[in-house]
């Protein structure tokens, strides 16, 4: 209910204005503390890119992180990734995420990134500790931080802010009155702004990112199938436990499917009963959900990977911001 109110501009949210003022004040004080005491900030000896957002919920950070890993490798770099590991219960911290790991131990997004990229990835709520561990145990010359824009204890060379072109900034207010973790002015302070999708919201100077669906993948045996070759019937159960599930459902419609939508909270911990429905139909879910449902999903279950597409202008701007010879290869 609260999330819907943020993006509908519900008037009753004004009752939360005093709490919003308090949140802003605490966030400003915390950030200023790191600015005034640089000794509290750990700056890695290699370049570090932070990919984050200022809104609660998903905006497309994970596909962008995968894009950046590929971008770095194409330039001869050896990237590593650090992440908080939301909802993870690792046996130790910092914790190295393996491509065949368990989502309960490492979190859904880190497992997706590790599985898709086979990139060294370390999780820890203390991003600086994760970055130090990464450099101690892996030969990396570039660190990409998945989320962590507000984790000011970790020094960074480039900040990339990801925004949703459909949701924008909601009502433009900070928590709990609105969806923002930091005031809108933060947009003008980051190095690069990436807007996910072709919607109306797009600040001046931002770079557009499109998420292009790949082939469907079977959870049972890894078989791949293009949407145009699908023979299982166009009416399908569509499962999405992500920040903006409507975007996934619309993607399925654009591919010619007739989805029966089933929305779950972001990072939802699925159980078997979550995937049992009255109508027997094929099931298609997001890749982020699939990493948690390998052993839960019914036989005719599939997931839909997406690939981030950005412009050469974005890549040039990123290389320029990093300001290092290793990005000019």
Judge whether 292 is annotated as a binding position. Answer: no
Angle at 81 between CA 311 and CA 130, to 5 degrees: 150
Is-contact 49 91, C-beta < 8 A? no
Judge whether 56 is annotated as a binding position. Answer: yes
With H, G, I as helix, E, B as strand and everything else as coil, classify residue 257.
coil
What stretches of 264-300 adopt beta strand conformation (E)?
283-286
Question: What gap in Å lies between CA 329 and CA 316, rounded to an integer?
Answer: 12
Number of residues written out for the chain: 329
Judge whether 55 is annotated as a binding position. Answer: yes
- Residue 215 to residues 212, 228, 252, 301, 306: CA-CA distances in angstroms? 10, 10, 12, 14, 9
Q: What angle do helix axes 61-74 and 108-117 make, rounded to 10 degrees?
A: 30
Give kind and range of the element (H or E) at residue 20.
helix 17-36
With H, G, I as helix, E, B as strand and everything else as coil, classify residue 284.
strand
Judge whether 58 is annotated as a binding position. Answer: yes
Judge whether 87 is annotated as a binding position. Answer: no
Question: What gap in Å lies between CA 178 and CA 109, rounded to an integer?
Answer: 25
Judge whether 324 is annotated as a binding position. Answer: no
Judge whether 233 is annotated as a binding position. Answer: no
Judge whether 286 is annotated as a binding position. Answer: no
Task: Measure CA 113 to chain center.
Answer: 10
Is-contact 240 263, C-beta < 8 A? yes
Is-contact 62 209, C-beta < 8 A? no
Summarize the annotated binding site for ATP as residue ranges. Answer: 55-62
Point out the annotated binding site.
Answer: 55-62
């Amino acid at each position: 209910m609260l999330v819907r109110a943020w993006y509908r501009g519900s008037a009753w949210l004004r009752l939360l204005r005093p709490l919003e003022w308090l949140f802003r004040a605490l966030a400003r004080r915390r950030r200023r503390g790191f600015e005034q005491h640089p000794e509290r900030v750990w700056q890695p000896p290699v370049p570090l890119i932070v990919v984050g957002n200022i809104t609660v919920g998903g905006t497309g950070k994970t596909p962008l992180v995968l894009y950046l890993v590929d971008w770095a490798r194409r330039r001869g770099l050896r990237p590593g990734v650090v992440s908080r590991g939301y909802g993870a219960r690792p046996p130790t911290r910092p914790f190295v995420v393996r491509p065949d790991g368990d989502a309960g131990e490492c979190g859904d997004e880190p497992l997706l990134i590790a599985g898709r990229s086979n990139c060294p990835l370390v999780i820890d709520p203390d991003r600086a500790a994760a970055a130090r561990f990464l450099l101690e145990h892996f030969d990396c010359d570039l660190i990409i931080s998945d989320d962590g824009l507000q984790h000011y204890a970790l020094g960074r060379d480039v900040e990339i802010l990801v925004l949703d072109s459909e949701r924008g900034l909601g009502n433009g207010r900070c928590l709990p009155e609105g969806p923002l973790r930091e005031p809108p002015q933060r947009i003008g302070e980051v190095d690069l702004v990436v807007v996910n999708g072709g919607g109306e919201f797009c600040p001046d100077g931002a770079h557009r990112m499109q998420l292009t669906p790949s082939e469907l993948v079977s959870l049972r045996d890894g078989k791949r199938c293009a949407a145009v070759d699908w023979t299982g019937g166009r009416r399908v159960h569509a499962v999405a436990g992500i920040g903006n599930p409507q975007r996934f459902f619309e993607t399925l419609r654009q591919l010619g499917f007739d989805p029966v939508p089933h929305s779950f909270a972001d990072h939802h911990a699925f159980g078997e009963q979550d995937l049992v429905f009255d109508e027997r139909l094929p099931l298609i879910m997001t890749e982020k959900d699939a990493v948690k449902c390998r052993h839960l999903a019914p036989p005719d279950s599939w997931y839909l990977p997406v690939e981030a597409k950005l412009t050469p202008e974005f890549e040039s701007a990123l290389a320029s911001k990093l300001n290092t010879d290793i990005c000019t290869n």
